Amino acid sequence: MNRISVISLLLLLLSFSTVLALDKDQGARATLLKEKSITEYRAVPQFAAAELCTVRHVGDVAYEITPWLFGNEQYLAYQDPAMTCDTPYPFNVREIYMLLYFRKEAIIDFSVEVQAVDLTDPSCPVPGDTVSASSVYRFQFTPPGLWRIAIPLDSAAVVNGPYFAGFTIVTQLVDPDPQDSVTVLIEDFLPAPMPCVNYNIWDIDVGYVDLADNEDYNFPGKIVLYSAGETGGSGGYDDPMPKLTLLEPKADQRVGTPLRCWSWDHANSKIVDSVQYEYVSTAGWVRFGVDADNNHALRNGVDPSGTGPGYVVELGPAGITEGLHRIRATAYDTLMRTSAAQVDVTVDPTPPRMDFIKPSYMDTLCLPYTFTTFTDDDDISSVKYYWKKLNNDYSVAVVTLHQTDYGNVDDDAGDGNPIADGEFGEYYCGPTAGAIAVKYWFDQGYTEIMRELGHTISVDTVVERLASAMYTRSNNGTYDDFFAGGLQDYITYHGDDLFVESYFTPDYMDMRIIFEEKELLPILGLSGNPGMYVVLSGMSGLDNGGGQYAITISDPITGT
């Protein structure tokens, strides 16, 4: 079980231990449910291309049981894929569903899990050990009515026989009134209650209660709780499982708002369906965005670049409070496999940033002059002003590399490695630009960035290492998120002395500050036809007032 599953399970058990005195014997009864229109509420977006087999041994909703559901409890249903799926085993359980009826609007936390079958009594299976579990998800039910709740497991439960699907109502409902509560739903009445199929646990000391054979109330039909998954086990996929990395924000970073979250699928899966972003609160994980389009620019020096940075969501200042927060991104592919990454950051919606009211950009000043500035930070106690003579021109020394010296396949490094011959040199502007930057920092004294096993490696080796990290060959070019992620991965494994910062559509002042004031080396992803990566080597003159300014570059496409 992965770490997230363990945390969910521990919370679940602690929740159970706080309600040892709950009494279900309060006159429960089955009432015909008039509402039959079902609204589906999914914890994550629908997995578009998943070929799932539904394991459902219960009929349509017919009755509600009231009063019964008090929260802080778990319901379980016996599941046998062999009854509904052809050649089912091994079977990957992916998602669990339960139907509930809400008499009023509510905010409730849920989780799900798969439990093994305990056959201590061969004639009556009972729930056993947990095989896999989900995170805790918060749902807001508006308007009231009949809802089908769908929650995926954090990782698939691979089973070779029957299992129990568990659905936990994590939230404790405070003294629910039978006429104003959440109700458990069952199918139409069976000829007789069916024991050993549905269980309920609300008290660890009491244990699992058979809903068809207990001292309080025997349910006349099965609860509407079921699951879905894939037949054939966990092997044989053409696409790898996603492996998500958060590019922004970075761990332990102090960030302002809007908070931009940007992630990268390190596995280069072609079937990632969406990425969901959440932050943790005292009540559990709160979802603040989902990106399901994954539009990201491919810059290969040959074709138009396209647009978009990849999986990005921004969280505005109204969505998160100041202070320390844990941010999580979770990728879901069309086979319902998942991968998550999380970081802790400090959010400061009003950072100590000053903006000028007077003078305006490029004003001519006549001394004496009064400067007027403002800030949104209420904690600033004083402001100091400095001036610095601005150089009209600024440049740094970078090497020039030609992309067609790399991407070799036929062992003839001097043939230009053309696309037409099945080689990749003409697609290599991304890793070549990255290597130009690596060589620059090596020359500044960061020698570990070009060392492996105690020896300095060649620029040729750097280019190919970056091409591999950026998946340049398999994608016939380099996507922006793969460029940033691959370059950071390379740096991490070569000294970890540097880091990659990303700026979307910087203006002139941004560029000047990054390049000259911070003394960083910008790598530019240029859109258009073709899209390409180049390395900034100089800025000449000032912004002409129309957003244009002269630069010099090291261009890996021409080698100049």
Q: Say which DSSP state 336 is in.
A: S
Residue 180 in this model has a pLDDT that exceeds 60: no
In this structure, the answer to whether residues 138 and 218 fall within a common structural domain is yes
Q: Give residue 405's domain range.
A: 393-554
Per-residue pLDDT, 453: 62
Q: Is residue 386 part of a domain?
A: no
What whole-number distance in Å separates Cα of residue 347 and Cα of residue 391? 35
Tell whether 43 is covered by a domain: yes
Highest mean pLDDT among 21-30, 342-351, 405-414: 342-351
What is the model's pLDDT at position 524? 92
Count of CA atoms in the C-beta half-sphere (13 A) of 397: 3
- Strand 145-159 and strand 38-42: the pairing is parallel
Do the domain assignments include residue 465? yes
182 lies in some domain:
yes
Q: Scan for tokens 């305006």, then name that residue.
A: 360
CB 1, CB 8: distance < 8 Å: no
pLDDT in tens, 389-413: 777 899 999 999 999 999 887 777 7
Same domain, 220 and 259: no
Condensed to tens digits (0 to 9), the pLDDT of residues 41-68 reads 887 765 443 578 999 999 888 888 888 8
Rounded to two decimals, the pTM is 0.61
**Is the model's pLDDT at 17 over the cut of 50?**
no
Segment 472-478 shows an average pLDDT of 91
Mean pLDDT of the chain: 84
Instruction: Work out the pLDDT band at 440, boundaries 50, 70, 90.
Output: very high
Is residue 373 a part of any domain in this protein?
no
The total of structural domains in the chain comes to 3
Query: Where in 235-358 does DSSP place strands (E)?
Result: 244-248, 254-255, 259-265, 272-281, 284-291, 298-299, 311-315, 323-333, 338-347, 355-358
- To the nearest 5 percent, what fractions of the chain are helix, strand and coil? 15, 35, 50
Q: Please report the beta strands in 85-224, taking only residues with DSSP state E, as ranges in sequence order.
A: 91-102, 106-118, 126-133, 137-141, 145-159, 163-172, 182-186, 198-201, 209-210
Q: Are residues 9 and 121 in the same domain?
A: yes
Is 545 domain-assigned? yes
Higher pLDDT, 101 or 388: 101
The whole-number pLDDT of residue 10 equals 21
Burial 444-482 (b: 16+ CB within 10 A, else e): eebeebbeeeeeebebeebbbbbbebbbbbebebbbbbb
Query: Binning pLDDT at 50, 70 and 90, where does residue 15 land?
Result: very low
Of 548, 547, 526, 546, nearest to 536 (Cα)? 526
Are 19 and 81 in a shared domain? Answer: yes
Residue 560 domain-assigned (yes or no): no
pLDDT tier for residue 257 given thresholds of 50, 70 and 90:
confident
Q: How much is the pLDDT for 551?
A: 92
Segment 184-222, tens digit of pLDDT: 878 888 888 889 999 999 887 788 999 999 988 899 999
pLDDT of residue 489: 85
Tokens of 339: 């991968």
**Residue 8, pLDDT score:** 21
Residue 364 lies in a domain: no
| pLDDT of the residue at 42 | 85
